[in-house]
Amino acid sequence: MATAIHDQVIEVLARVADTAEVRTNPDLALYDLQILDSMKTVELIVALQQELNVEISPAEFDRDAWATPAKMVADVERRLAA
């Protein structure tokens, strides 16, 4: 079941990554398929901070934790719950 946070993260991701596939494939390999790169990751961090008010420092960013849309949602939810 999708949550409001899930939906927001996926919408931000779809906009930054410029692909709707992130909405339908929660296991999409974002970095392996070069959907995200370092510049888009920074853009994504900024957008998530602005829209969800979640603190994500580029220094503490873990690419493995954001390897797929599902992992990214879980990481953002964990940060917001902390």
Amino acid occupying residue 34: Q
Q: What's this model's pTM, rounded to 2 decimal places? A: 0.92
Q: Where are the domains of the chain?
A: 4-81
Separation between Cα atoms, residue 39 and residue 62, nearest integer Å: 15
User: Residue 2's pLDDT band (boundaries 50, 70, 90)?
Assistant: low
Q: Which fold has domain 4-81?
A: 1.10.1200
Report how far residue 10's alpha carbon sits from residue 67's, in angstroms, rounded to the nearest whole number: 13
Are 76 and 48 spatial neighbours (Cβ–Cβ below 8 Å)?
A: yes
Residue 36 has pLDDT above 80, yes or no: yes
49 alpha carbon, distance to own chain's centre: 11
- The confidence score (pLDDT) of residue 64 equals 94
**d(Cα 18, Cα 81) in Å, to the nearest integer?**
28
Tokens of 16: 């930054």
Task: Report pLDDT for 58.
Answer: 81
